[in-house]
Amino acid sequence: MISALGSPVRLLCCALATLLVLSSQPTGQAPPGFDELFLEKTMRVDYVHSGGLGQEILALDQVVSDGPWAGSRTRLTDDLNLGKYLFEVIDRRTNLVIYSRGFASIYGEWETTAEAREVYRSFHESLRFPWPRRPVQVVLKVRDSENSFHQIWSTVVDPNSRFVNPADRIPAGEVWPIIESGPPSEKVDLLVIGDGYTAAEVPKFRADATRLVDALFEEEPFRSRRADFNVWGLDLPSAESGVSRPRAGQFRRTPVSAEYNIFDSDRYVLTYDNRALRDAASAAPYEFLEILVNEDQYGGGGIFNFQATAAADTGFAEYVFIHEFGHHFAGLADEYYTSDVAYETGGAYHPEPWEPNVTALHDPDNVKWGDLIAADTPIPTPWDKVAFETGSTAAQTERRALRDERAPETRVDDLFTAQMERETALLSAMPHAGKVGAFQGASYEPTGLYRSEIDCIMFTRNPVGFCQVCSRAIENVIDQYSRP
């Protein structure tokens, strides 16, 4: 049996009842083991997330098998406190939370665009967790402006119901290992999918995937933690080379429908087709997904615990792959603030971001990365913001001109290279370079939000790698999936 709880009153009553039952559990009670609670397969709950004009509606689509369970058998509940959303799987017999994960979504990003105030839209989303042995309640929560989670949707799932499909899909493509370090349940599992590669270009996809994965594992902390990862490739040949690029008048029908121009941003690449992506990915063990698009136009995207993308042939493909994977893997925020984006922020007041590498600095004496700040570092931390903004703004103006005239991608790469060299020299010479502090300007905002270091791969294309705060956040996620 599957039932959706839609009434706000029923949702509130359900949430209060669950809270009361959970609070009544005896302290010190050992949680049940994995084998008592779950089977060795993955349940996928698909739903449609709709809204706009101040409304938000969720509706169940289907419950299906999503292949063998690749996740941890021991670290089943999420204590990282990341993501705009959190879902919990509650055992109906005991009312204990037996699985949970934080995540973000395309809907959550779309809510921040101007379009969300003008029209309604729907997005397909999925929740994945080990297959329960008995009925469970799946609860979806969202953060409010004070970072508290509250329930927005719930559904009850009986795994033995005729409304639940336990059959596995026949794999649509060939899965092959890029890095194989051990059993999936004891490792972080990353799946790299090719989109826009024809059958004749499969060797190119394999070379591209290997090159970019190697680049990721040249960066710390991934380099030191390489043995904690399995990385798989998935060949999905397309009928034509390339993916859709609407602004260039290029349209394709590819296996997972990755495309440029997400939210009408010319270099933002994602797929809206979550079902196609999940169906294809079910062929492999995975917790994280990267889509490589067979294009040379600069572009990529990343959403925490959903998907990351990168264009394989741009001159900055390695940077884009690593930067966007930082979003997807560890919920890292963009630290830049001078580039054009589709999002609209909240104005003068900024609530504390949930992302681990950005702060609103409401309490300078208790910065969330304060243990990494030296006693003699001033908070906020001064830097030559005007000099940086002058050069960055000029580069953005030039980039827009190149896009308007549809200049070759090599000219855009040349512009980015010149900008990188100039910014590297400028930022590295500033007094607090390499130190952890609170530097004004982050997450698309020139004021009101702060990043932890002058430079980081989440701030510029400069060859500086991940800062200390971002590195620690990444290691925390690695531990979530690979440690007993």
Strands (E), 315-364: 358-359
Q: Are residues 161 and 202 in the same domain?
A: no
Counting Cα atoms < 13 Å in the Cβ hemisphere of 267 gives 20
Q: Are residues 206 and 119 in the same domain?
A: no
Q: Are residues 188 and 88 in the same domain?
A: no
Query: If we measure between CA atoms, which residue out of 353, 482, 474 comes closest to residue 83?
Result: 353
C-alpha distances in angstroms, 59 versus 7, 18, 68?
12, 21, 26
Q: Are residues 7 and 132 in the same domain?
A: yes
Predicted confidence at residue 484, as pLDDT, reads 77
Predicted confidence at residue 328, as pLDDT, reads 98
Last residue of a domain, one of 165, 184, 210: 165
Predicted confidence at residue 341, as pLDDT, reads 59
CA distance 313 to 330: 25
CA distance 196 to 26: 54
Averaged pLDDT for residues 368-396? 96
Q: Are residues 238 and 325 in the same domain?
A: yes
48-70 pLDDT tens trace: 999 999 899 999 999 999 999 99
Averaged pLDDT for residues 106-116? 95
Query: If we measure between CA atoms, which residue out of 23, 189, 157 comes closest to residue 88?
Result: 157
pLDDT at 100 over 50: yes
Q: Would you say residue 340 lies in a domain?
A: no
pLDDT at 97 over 70: yes
pLDDT at 342 over 60: no
Q: Are residues 180 and 324 in the same domain?
A: yes
Predicted confidence at residue 291, as pLDDT, reads 98
Last residue of a domain, one of 143, 165, 187: 165
- Find all residues with CB under 8 Å of 341, minimum gap 6, and list them: 265, 334, 444
121-132: strand order across its sheet: 121-132, 38-52, 55-65, 164-165
CA distance 417 to 40: 48
Q: ω before 183 within 30° of 0 (cis)? A: no
Helices and strands of the chain, counted as H and E runs: 9, 20
CATH number at residue 146: 2.60.40.3250
Q: Are residues 18 and 152 in the same domain?
A: yes
Predicted confidence at residue 7, as pLDDT, reads 38
CA distance 227 to 186: 11
Lowest pLDDT segment from 168-172, 213-217, 288-292: 168-172
C-alpha distances in angstroms, 128 versus 64, 106, 133?
10, 17, 15
Q: Would you say residue 83 lies in a domain?
A: yes
- Find all residues with CB under 8 Å of 172, minimum gap 6, and list them: 236, 255, 279, 280, 283
Determine the distance from the C-alpha atom of residue 121 to the mean position of all C-alpha atoms in its chain, rounded to a whole number: 21
Q: Are residues 277 and 187 in the same domain?
A: yes
Predicted confidence at residue 32, as pLDDT, reads 83
Predicted confidence at residue 349, as pLDDT, reads 85
Q: Are residues 195 and 115 in the same domain?
A: no
Q: Are residues 105 and 47 in the same domain?
A: yes
DSSP SS3 for 74: coil
Predicted confidence at residue 193, as pLDDT, reads 98
Predicted confidence at residue 1, as pLDDT, reads 42
Predicted confidence at residue 145, as pLDDT, reads 85
- Find all residues with CB under 8 Å of 118, minimum gap 6, and list them: 52, 53
Which tokens sit at 233?
A: 């490739």
Q: Are residues 158 and 192 in the same domain?
A: no
Averaged pLDDT for residues 142-168? 96
Q: Are 184 and 227 in contact (CB under 8 A)?
A: no
CATH number at residue 280: 3.40.390.10
Predicted confidence at residue 167, as pLDDT, reads 97
Lowest pLDDT segment from 15-19, 350-354, 413-417, 441-445: 15-19
Q: Would you say residue 481 lies in a domain?
A: no
7-53 pLDDT tens trace: 333 333 444 444 434 443 444 556 689 999 999 999 999 999 999 99
Predicted confidence at residue 375, as pLDDT, reads 96
> What are the helix (H) ranges across 63-130?
106-110
Average per-residue pLDDT in the chain?
92
pLDDT at 344 over 90: no
Averaged pLDDT for residues 163-168? 97
Q: Are 254 and 280 in contact (CB under 8 A)?
A: no
Strands (E), 6-113: 38-52, 55-65, 85-91, 97-103
Which tokens sit at 473?
A: 């956040």
226-241 pLDDT tens trace: 999 999 999 999 999 9
pTM, two decimals, is 0.91
Q: Would you say residue 347 lies in a domain?
A: no
Predicted confidence at residue 132, as pLDDT, reads 98
Domains held by the chain: number: 3
Range of 283's domain? 174-330
Give the type of residue at 345: T
Q: Are residues 184 and 321 in the same domain?
A: yes
State what percent of residues in the chain have pLDDT above 90.
87
